[in-house]
């Protein structure tokens, strides 16, 4: 019996093809927007998490107090703090970093390029932990007092002429030689900066004991929360204040996740509006259909269709529109977001990692079906409540 209703719904839609298509398009747009925007949001989150993983899931960041943004120019931590941390159990090595901004000169051109300074020891290990490879050249070592590494984009885009190994730059009037160019990582953290040995930076910028961030690499098997607590305790004791923050990867991921969650929710909310419009479209089409088929409803009532039969017939039709719209919408939405991911990658922003999310697809298809059914309820009830004698008279 239900099969017969499906059959009739299908025929009715075929009979009014254009309207069926238009109504379906309304749902397709709504669902495609939802799926695409959620996929993009998730893709962004995936990419961020992955890039964060590159920075080291088994690392802890220690920063000056009340600092959440980029730590350029903020003082607070010192080399003494770095020494204190270095002595804590469970730590493989630490990377005290200085963030600087200075005009860099090359072949007559000038550009402001962010400079990050780190120690020269453990360089190989550090870069491999960060998952950074070398496009050409090598990491700087203790003997490279005037050697720098540069990010991939710095080499290509910072100046009119491309920078490569053995290129000479002038920073604050002093000559530095490029000893290595990083491979492209897709993160601004590594692609857009110049990297300098920290001792050279201290001399050049006259910052003998300042540290902007201390990156702590954990021993294998060390529990980040425990080490973080030890760091906090040790720093409190040595500094005599709490003017610093210690972030574990979990905390940072949680914060990022919360922010991206809100972003996704807002995107989905915006898309939901278009689905609502699609639902109203179904309702409108169904009302029109009820009106057009008044006589037909009278006929099938006269030959024995009960109220519930009519309701089911109309609900199936509305649900069918929703379902078809949902199917097409879900897959075109995913395709759209996938293409945007590909385009973004192609343009050099590996900030989108679009993954086929079966749950999202199934959820959005069922959601479209439900929207269809819900939109069909009122028209279906209207159809069912028609008086057969009156409906038969309708021209």
**Binder of other proteins out of 277, 306, 356, 362 (CB under 8 A):** 306
Shortest spacing between CB 13 and other proteins, in angstroms: 10
Convert residues 213-242 into a mask of x (bound to other proteins by CB under 8 A) and - (unbound). Answer: ------------------------------
Cβ partners under 8 Å of residue 383, min gap 6: 290, 293, 297, 310, 311, 314
Answer for which of 11, 161, 233, 236 binds other proteins (CB under 8 A) is 11
Nearest to 327 by CA among 357, 375, 363: 363
Among 303, 346, 358, 359, binds other proteins (CB under 8 A): 303
> What's the CA gap between 361 and 90, in Å, rounded?
44
Smallest distance, other proteins to C-beta of residue 42, A = 43
User: Which 308-337 residues touch other proteins, going by CB under 8 A?
Assistant: 308-309
In the complex, what is the shortest distance from the CB of residue 281 to other proteins, in angstroms, rounded to a whole number? 22
Decide whether 178 or 310 has the Cβ nearer to other proteins: 310
Shortest Cβ 336–other proteins spacing (Å): 35
The answer to whether 161 and 106 are in contact (CB under 8 A) is yes
Is residue 381 part of the contact set for other proteins (CB under 8 A)?
no
Task: Output the smallest distance, CB 11 to other proteins, in A.
Answer: 4
| Lookup: tokens for 233 | 């305790």
Q: 14 vs 18, which CB is nearer to other proteins? A: 14
Buried b (16+ CB within 10 A) or exposed e, 6-16: eeebeebbeeb
Residue 365: CB atoms within 10 A of its CB come to 22
Burial class (CB in 10 A: 0-12, 13-18, 19+), 46: middle
Alpha carbon 37 to chain centroid distance?
10
| Smallest distance, other proteins to C-beta of residue 285, A | 17
Residue 47: CB minimum distance to other proteins, A:
51
Compose the 262-301 pattern: x for residues touching other proteins by CB under 8 A, - for all others: ---------------------------------xx--xxx
* Residue 15 interacts with other proteins (CB under 8 A): yes or no: yes
Task: Report angle CA 261, 323, 315 to the nearest 5 degrees.
Answer: 120
Choose which of 22, 255, 302, 349 interacts with other proteins (CB under 8 A): 302
Under the binding rule (CB under 8 A), the answer on residue 14 touching other proteins is yes
- Pick 1 or 347: Cβ nearer other proteins: 1
Q: Which of 262, 277, 339, 389 binds other proteins (CB under 8 A)?
A: 389
C-alpha to C-alpha distance for 216 and 35, rounded to whole angstroms: 39
Which is nearer to other proteins, 163 or 310 (by Cβ)?
310
Is 18 or 89 the residue whose CB approaches other proteins more closely? 18
| Cβ–Cβ < 8 Å for 62, 81 | yes
* Member of 183, 253, 392, 394 binding other proteins (CB under 8 A): 392
Among 92, 170, 239, 307, binds other proteins (CB under 8 A): 307
Using the structure block, give the residue that is written with the tokens 């020269």.
Answer: 120
Q: Which two tokens stand for residue 196?
A: 């300098």
Number of residues that bind other proteins (CB under 8 A): 25
By C-beta, is 183 or 388 nearer to other proteins?
388
Q: Which of 220, 240, 304, 358 binds other proteins (CB under 8 A)?
A: 304
Handedness of CA 109, 114, 119, 122 (dihedral sign): negative
CB of 16: closest distance to other proteins in angstroms?
10
**319 and 373 in contact (C-beta within 8 Å)?**
yes
CA distances from 195 to 116, 147, 180, 203, 207 (A): 5, 9, 10, 15, 16
Who's near 189: CB < 8 A, 6+ residues apart?
Answer: 51, 55
| Residues whose CB is less than 8 angstroms from the CB of residue 268 and which lie 6 or more positions away in sequence, other chains included | 34, 37, 38, 41
State how far the Cα of 315 lies from the Cα of 339, in Å rounded to an integer: 35
User: Cβ closer to other proteins: 13 or 104?
Assistant: 13
Chain residues in the site for other proteins (CB under 8 A): 1, 3-4, 8, 11-12, 14-15, 295-296, 299-309, 387-389, 392
């Amino acid at each position: 019996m239900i099969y017969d209703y499906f059959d009739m719904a299908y025929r009715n839609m075929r009979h009014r093809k254009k309207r069926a298509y238009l109504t379906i398009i309304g749902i397709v747009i709504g669902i495609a927007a939802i799926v695409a925007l959620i996929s993009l949001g998730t893709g962004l989150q995936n990419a961020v998490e992955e890039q964060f993983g590159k920075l080291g899931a088994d690392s802890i960041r220690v920063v000056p107090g009340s600092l959440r943004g980029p730590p350029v120019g903020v003082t607070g931590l010192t080399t003494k703090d770095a020494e204190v941390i270095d002595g804590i159990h469970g730590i493989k090595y630490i990377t005290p970093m200085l963030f600087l901004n200075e005009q860099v000169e090359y072949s007559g051109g000038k550009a402001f390029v962010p400079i990050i300074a780190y120690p020269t020891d453990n360089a190989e290990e550090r870069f491999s932990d960060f998952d950074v490879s070398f496009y050409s050249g090598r990491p700087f070592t203790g003997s490279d007092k005037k050697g720098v590494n540069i990010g991939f984009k710095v080499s290509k885009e910072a100046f009119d002429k491309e920078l490569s190994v053995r290129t000479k730059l002038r920073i604050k009037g002093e000559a530095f030689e490029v000893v290595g160019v990083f491979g492209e990582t897709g993160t601004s953290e590594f692609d857009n900066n110049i990297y300098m040995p920290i001792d050279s930076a201290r001399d050049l910028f006259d910052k003998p004991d300042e540290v902007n961030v201390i990156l702590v690499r954990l021993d294998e098997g060390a529990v980040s929360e425990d080490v973080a607590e030890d760091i906090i305790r040790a720093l409190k004791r040595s500094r005599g204040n709490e003017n610093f923050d210690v972030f574990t990867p979990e905390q940072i991921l949680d914060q990022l996740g919360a922010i991206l969650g809100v972003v996704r929710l807002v995107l989905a909310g915006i898309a939901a509006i278009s689905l609502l419009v699609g639902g109203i479209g179904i309702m409108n089409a169904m009302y029109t259909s009820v009106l057009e088929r008044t006589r037909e409803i009278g006929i099938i009532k006269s030959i024995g269709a009960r109220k519930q039969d009519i309701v089911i017939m109309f609900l199936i039709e509305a649900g069918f529109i929703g379902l078809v719209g949902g199917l097409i919408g879900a897959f075109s939405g995913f395709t759209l977001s996938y293409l945007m991911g590909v385009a973004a990658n192609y343009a050099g922003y590996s900030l989108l990692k679009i993954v086929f999310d079966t749950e999202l697809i199934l959820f959005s298809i069922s959601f479209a079906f439900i929207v269809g059914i819900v939109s069909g309820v009122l028209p279906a009830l209207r159809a069912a409540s028609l008086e057969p004698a009156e409906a038969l008279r309708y021209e």
